[in-house]
């Protein structure tokens, strides 16, 4: 196999190695998948504007999030059920992120529990993505395990009070294989078997309010970020209720179809809270230049989900690590050609 040279080539290879139902589960979006496509296509409408006669003899891709340094303004987003993609599963993705010098975000819908990821990759930087369930004791158990296992932040996901209508899954009849488990969720809910993703979302509490965010912030010993923010006034309310930051996200186009591309929602949100709190975004990142566009619009960093998952599917932890390295090198070259020695130097002046 020829070594892929970009994310698109990893995606094409993943489509060859993954069974059709599983590929549809990972790659698909809600309804007509307009938002899924827009997440990627919206970047093509943006134009970077290089600035010249800037000293770029030394370009550094490092940045900081929540006061901690990472190698580049890219984190690994939480995505579900890695064990279906490759036997390396979530520990493999954590190893890839650690090798790349960045942060791995573990999904609640993981095939490896937080404590097991921590034990397998003790040097990994880790954040935990949390859904609040109707049984708050289950959410508390998941949160406590993550905190005790050294996870450094909580990503409270609020754009999925129930799962979107993902029609690829209906057409393929996709079902989680019987040998795949979500141990932390299964044990926390006391179920005799692993719940399916659809069953899991029946457990999610749709009554969550701003008061619940404030309560979680007060009770959590680690920072809480709000994931799934679409509007600037919601970002403002998140900060006012104690969130350390927000993740601008439409859940990879998997929830409400027809909402804007994430990159189109980013600017107003960054303008509202970017001087006070961390602003991250996900959705549609496929190139280092996409990362630069997000930085120019006010993001402090981005998260990539499917690109890292394609790498994992193709070649396990090594494939995911190579995807991250490709993105870092594209960012490094992009900074050089843009006339921005560091990610912090990228701003509105670099967009046409």
- The yes-or-no verdict on residue 278 having pLDDT over 80 is yes
Q: Note the pLDDT tens digit of each residue in 306-329.
A: 999 999 999 999 999 999 999 999
Q: What is the pLDDT of residue 48?
A: 98
| Residue from 186, 191, 130, 131 nearest 162 by CA | 131
C-alpha dihedral sign at 333, 334, 339, 341: negative
- The yes-or-no verdict on residue 186 having pLDDT over 90 is no
Asked if residue 225 lies in contact with residue 278, where contact means CB atoms within 8 angstroms, the answer is yes
Average pLDDT of the chain to the nearest whole number:
95
- The yes-or-no verdict on residue 249 having pLDDT over 90 is yes
Reduce the DSSP state of residue 150 to 3 states and report it: coil
SS (H, E, C) 12-24: HHHHHHCCHHHHH
Q: What is the pLDDT of residue 182?
A: 86
Q: Note the pLDDT tens digit of each residue in 139-173.
A: 899 999 999 999 999 999 999 999 999 999 999 99
- The yes-or-no verdict on residue 288 having pLDDT over 80 is yes
Q: What is the pLDDT of residue 116?
A: 96
Reduce the DSSP state of residue 180 to 3 states and report it: coil
- The yes-or-no verdict on residue 178 having pLDDT over 90 is no
Q: What is the pLDDT of residue 175?
A: 86
- The yes-or-no verdict on residue 198 having pLDDT over 80 is no
- The yes-or-no verdict on residue 201 having pLDDT over 90 is no
Confidence bin at 197 (pLDDT 50/70/90): confident
Mean predicted confidence (pLDDT) in 58-62: 98
What's the CA dihedral at 112, 115, 121, 126 to 10 degrees? 90
Domain locations in the chain as residue ranges: 7-343
Confidence bin at 177 (pLDDT 50/70/90): confident
**Global pTM?**
0.96
Q: Which residues are bridge partners to 163 per DSSP?
A: none
Write the CATH number of the domain with boundaries 7-343: 3.20.20.70
Q: What is the pLDDT of residue 30?
A: 97
Note if 251 is an active site residue.
yes
Mean predicted confidence (pLDDT) in 180-204: 80
Confidence bin at 184 (pLDDT 50/70/90): confident
Candidate list 86, 251, 300, 350, residue with the active-site label: 251
Q: What is the DSSP string of 166-223?
A: -HHHHHHT----TT---HHHHHHHT-SSPPPHHHHHHHB-TT--HHHHHHHHHH-SS-
Confidence bin at 262 (pLDDT 50/70/90): very high
Mean predicted confidence (pLDDT) in 204-227: 97
| Residue from 338, 333, 260 nearest 296 by CA | 338
Confidence bin at 295 (pLDDT 50/70/90): very high
Q: How far apart are CA 279 and CA 295, in angstroms?
A: 10
Q: Which residues are bridge partners to 128 per DSSP?
A: 106, 154
- The yes-or-no verdict on residue 187 having pLDDT over 80 is no
Q: What is the pLDDT of residue 87?
A: 97
Residues 6+ apart with CB under 8 A from 346: 292, 295, 296, 335, 338, 340
Q: How far apart are CA 142 and CA 17, in angstroms?
A: 32
Query: Strand 278-282 to strand 301-304: parallel, antiparallel, or no bridges (unpaired)?
Result: parallel
Q: Note the pLDDT tens digit of each residue in 11-43.
A: 999 999 999 999 999 999 999 999 999 999 999
């Amino acid at each position: 196999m020829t070594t892929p040279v970009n994310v698109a080539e990893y995606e094409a290879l993943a489509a060859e190695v993954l069974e059709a139902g599983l590929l549809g589960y990972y790659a698909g979006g809600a309804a007509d998948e307009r938002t899924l496509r827009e997440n990627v296509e919206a970047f093509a409408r943006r134009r970077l504007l290089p600035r010249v006669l800037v000293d770029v003899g030394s370009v550094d891709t490092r940045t900081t999030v929540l006061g901690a340094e990472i190698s580049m303004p890219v984190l690994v987003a939480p995505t579900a059920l890695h064990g279906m993609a490759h036997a390396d599963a979530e520990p493999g993705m954590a190893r890839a992120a650690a090798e790349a010098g960045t942060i791995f975000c573990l999904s609640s819908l993981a095939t490896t529990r937080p404590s097991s990821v921590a034990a397998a990759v003790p040097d990994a930087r880790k954040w935990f993505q949390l859904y609040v369930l109707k049984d708050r004791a289950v959410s508390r158990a998941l949160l406590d395990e993550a905190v005790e296992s050294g996870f450094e932040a909580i990503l409270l996901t609020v754009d999925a009070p129930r799962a979107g209508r993902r029609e690829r899954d209906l057409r393929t009849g996709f079902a989680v294989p019987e040998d795949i488990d979500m141990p932390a969720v299964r044990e926390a809910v006391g179920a005799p078997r692993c719940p399916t993703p659809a069953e899991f979302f029946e457990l999610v509490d749709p009554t969550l309010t701003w008061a619940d965010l404030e309560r979680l912030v007060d009770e959590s010993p680690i920072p809480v970020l709000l994931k799934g923010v679409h509007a600037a006034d919601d970002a403002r309310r998140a900060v006012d209720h104690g969130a350390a930051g927000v993740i601008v996200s439409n859940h990879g186009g998997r929830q409400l179809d027809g909402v804007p591309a994430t990159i189109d929602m980013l600017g107003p949100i960054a303008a509202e809270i970017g001087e006070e709190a961390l602003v991250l975004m996900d959705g549609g990142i496929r190139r280092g230049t996409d990362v630069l566009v997000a930085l120019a619009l006010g993001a402090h960093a981005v998260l990539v989900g499917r690109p890292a998952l394609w790498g994992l599917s193709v070649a396990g932890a090594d494939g995911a690590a190579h995807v991250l390295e490709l993105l870092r090198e594209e960012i490094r070259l992009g900074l050089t050609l843009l006339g921005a020695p560091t990610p912090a130097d990228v701003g509105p002046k670099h967009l046409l």
